[in-house]
Amino acid sequence: MVLESIWFTIALLVITIVLLVDPKSSSMGTGNSSVLRAFSSPRSGQNFIYRFSAVLITCFLILTILLSYIG
């Protein structure tokens, strides 16, 4: 079934993103300096990955519920 293939692909993408993205790399400094705070904020690429993974997880959960009602 097509939905099961999409569900499986999304599951693999979520697992891959979780394993490849290091959340500690976005927090380099913990001082009060404005320079350190600028470096500790996530980059735009990291924000994209976080948002993309949130969308994938949401799609995964919706497809899981949909497949449980169909199957």
pLDDT digits (tens, 9 = 90+) for 51-61: 999 999 999 99
pTM over 0.75: no
pLDDT digits (tens, 9 = 90+) for 10-22: 999 999 998 888 7
Q: Is the pLDDT of residue 25 over 80?
A: no
Task: Render 4-64 in DSSP notation, one character per residue.
Answer: HHHHHHHHHHHHHHHHH--GGGG----SS-HHHHHHHSPPHHHHHHHHHHHHHHHHHHHHH
Is residue 21 a contact partner of residue 49, using CB atoms and an 8 Å limit? Answer: yes
Q: Is the pLDDT of residue 45 over 90?
A: no
Q: How sure is the predictor about 43, in pLDDT bands with cuts at 50, 70 and 90? A: confident
